[in-house]
Each structure stands twice: as structure tokens, then as C-alpha cells.
Structure 1
């Protein structure tokens, strides 16, 4: 078989899967080293080449270097993290409070990836039935950036314990723009062998076999019918 787009070589394929399996949500291992502009551009280009429904490309990228802005976001995190801790009880709450869940000030760079919910106009191809596809598409941009960052030796941490309305105000976002992902980026001292929450006993990875169904929910693959 001949094709103008041949499959990846074995080395290329190994590199792709390595990025997938070694990607980590980084909170504690950031180094102060600056990310070179050309490397950051490569990461943003990778994110910008994510698939999007109707080719709407709803993402924007806010590169945050200001310590004042980051201090505001950190204060927001601390307020929301206290609320989150109070949702647990006993040993689970104590365990939660030991977890480091952000690297806002330690990382040399923060990045907010937003979703412009008006982009493409009121009728975006493929979006009539599921209006949230703009959010889903932006998540794919996050994943592209995350995998490219791992290939560059750069760690990424997603800070999800934030009040989105307050974050929008801090970043001066227009009303129709949603702050989908607040990320911490930087070179790291190491990438952990396991996800940090797994290594610290918070949760374990679920077995894939328990998550694969055949034709309908709860039906094993290959059962026929």
C-alpha cells in the first residue's frame, strides 16, 4: 500500500505514547528556569492545532507572568481550597489538607486557556444539538498543549480549585469568554512515575477492562446480539 501520509516510524510512535503515559499534573516539582519564547510558541501552536467542532477554534491564550496577577489568583485558590477541604471529614479531610494542589507562584509561567462561546456566530456547524462542543473543543487544545509540553520536558499543572467568576474579573474577560483552564507551566526537577494523587494514596487508576462495554452499557465486548 502506498500513501502520501505514511504511518509514524517506530521511534515516532514510541515518542507519542511516551508523552501520553508520562504526562503528569505537576504541582511540586517546578524549577525557576524561564521557558524560551520559541518553546512557548511551539506549545501554543500545538494547542492551536487541536480539532474543534465546526472549525470554530474557540480558544484564546492569556500568558500570565505578572506576580501581582498570580498573587490574586493564589488568594482565590486558597479561599476555594478551604471550602473544598470542608467537604471532607475526619482522616479524608486531614489527608486532603496535606496535598499540594497548585504551583501558581513556583512555576515561571501561568497560562489561562479560555473559550469564546460566541466564536463562529450563532450557528456553528455541528453545534446545534450539543452546544457545549465549544468547551469540549477547548479541552482538546489543553490536551494538545499538555502533550507537547511533556515532549519539551515542561510540566503542566491544571488549577481547577478557582471561582470562575472571580477569575474572569481578575483577567478582565468579556462576558462571553469562559476561563476554561488555568495552567501552571515550567521545567521540572522530575516527572513522577505515578500521578501525584495516586502516589499519595488519594485515588488509584481504574482498570481499563472495567470501563469498556460492548454495543450497550454493561454488556461485555464480543457478546454478539
Structure 2
């Protein structure tokens, strides 16, 4: 084992948080401690970011009317998404896709304004700001799971509408509505998998070697 490795219990805790993280939709009304929220935000702020640009911005939604407005917009987008799904519309409408009104805390996560001057690592891939902010959300999510707090990432919204609701600058980009709160229990498996919407692919189907589609050798395949 590497001399830089964590202790065995610490390693197990990291992997447990990863494997037992769930996209939660069912929440209790129990308040979340402010100290916990601060820890989650600090965890998010220690995410890797291209060029150290730190493009993430978290907006805590405390106004109940604003929360209801965000929920109403997401619910409308839920219906529009169902229409776009065609034959799977009814299956989709049976799913619970958010817990905006039930969760104890609500955050809008967005990309910062005035991002254009940041070209370190983004000259050919400007979308790396989104990748960096996604890492911040994942850090928040894993920290919350480790402390027994549920998080649900809602993406059913029009960024322009959420930007207007939160009075954000024109060049910002909302990327997530995060429902955060205590839960009765964590789903034993991803909800969409449990509901039969889809299932997780085999990990060896996701690993190629050298060329696209060439099976990898890490999981028992023989290299060519």
C-alpha cells in the first residue's frame, strides 16, 4: 500500500460515501444544522477547478415564495419533458423527480459571470468550467452523504427562467437546483433503477484501451 494512503477505515468510509450516495427525492422537514451546511459548502469549495478559476456559485434559497416559484417552474418543465419523451411519458410522470417543497434546504448552483477571460485549460474546451462546478457539487453530495444528509440534483428547468427568478447576471448559468435535507432512509439502489427506468451499465463496458470500442484489459480482458 502507498505510504500516502489513508487508514483502512478512512478508505472504507470514502468508498462507502461514493457507493451509497443517492439522488434523493423524499425528505423530512427536520432542519439541517448550519454547521453542517457550512462543512458541505467548504467541501464543495475544495473541488478541483481548471485554471483554479473556481467557477461555482451557490445561492441558498431562504424565501419561501421564491422556493414555490422555482417549484412551479420545475413542475411545468416536468410536464414538458414528459411530452418530449413520447411513449415513455406516462412512466416518467409516475416518477418523483424532485423534493423542492419538502426538503429543509434548497440551493441553486450556477457558473459565475465574467468567465470569458479564463482561458487556462479552457481555450479549446470552454465547457471545463461546467466540469469544475460539477466536481464541486459532487464534493457537496459526498460530504452530505457521509453525514447522513440527503441531496437531490434537479435539472428540470430553463436556465434563463431560474436566472431571472434569482436575479442573476445575464452571463451566469444555473446548472443545478439542489434539494438538501434529512431523510427517513437512503434508497438501497438508485431510484431510477429501482423504478425500472434504466439500470447501471457494467463497468467493463465503460473501459476501452487505445481506440474507441476496444475492450480494456483492466477487468480481465486480454490486451491485443
Please name the residue that 1:188 is paired with: 183
Please name the residue that 1:98 is paired with: 94
Q: 3-state SS of the aligned residue for 1:76?
A: helix
Please name the residue that 2:75 is paired with: 78
- Say if 1:110 and 1:123 are closer, same or farther in 2 by CA, change over 3 A: closer
How well do the aligned residues superpose, as a CA RMSD in angstroms? 1.6
Task: Assess if the C-alpha contact under 8 Å between 1:117 and 1:134 holds in 2.
Answer: no
Task: Assess if the C-alpha contact under 8 Å between 1:107 and 1:185 holds in 2.
Answer: yes
TM-score normalised per structure 1: 0.93
Task: Assess if the C-alpha contact under 8 Å between 2:141 and 2:151 holds in 1.
Answer: yes
Please report how far the alpha carbon of residue 67 of structure 1 lies from its aligned counterpart in structure 2 after TM superposition: 1.2
2: CA distance between counterparts of 1:89 and 1:224?
A: 42
Task: Assess if the C-alpha contact under 8 Å between 1:103 and 1:157 holds in 2.
Answer: yes
CA displacement, residues 150-192 of structure 1 (integer Å, 9 cap, x when unaligned): 0011100111111110000000011121111110000110001
1: CA distance between counterparts of 2:118 and 2:70?
A: 34
Alignment of 1:17-166 (within 5 A): 17-28=15-26, 30-90=27-87, 92-119=88-115, 122-166=117-161
2: CA distance between counterparts of 1:19 and 1:42?
A: 15
More off after superposition, 160-169 vs 92-101? 92-101
TM-score normalised per structure 2: 0.93
- Say if 1:85 and 1:123 are closer, same or farther in 2 by CA, change over 3 A: closer
Q: 3-state SS of the aligned residue for 1:88?
A: helix
2: CA distance between counterparts of 1:216 and 1:22?
A: 32
1: CA distance between counterparts of 2:143 and 2:108?
A: 17
2: CA distance between counterparts of 1:221 and 1:46?
A: 33
Task: Assess if the C-alpha contact under 8 Å between 1:63 and 1:111 holds in 2.
Answer: yes
Please report how far the alpha carbon of residue 88 of structure 1 lies from its aligned counterpart in structure 2 after TM superposition: 2.8
CA displacement, residues 57-115 of structure 1 (integer Å, 9 cap, x when unaligned): 0111101122101110111011111111112334x222111100000000011011111
1: CA distance between counterparts of 2:35 and 2:61?
A: 16
2: CA distance between counterparts of 1:88 and 1:218?
A: 29
Residue segments in structure 1 that go unaligned for 5+ positions in a row: none
Task: Assess if the C-alpha contact under 8 Å between 2:40 and 2:143 holds in 1.
Answer: yes
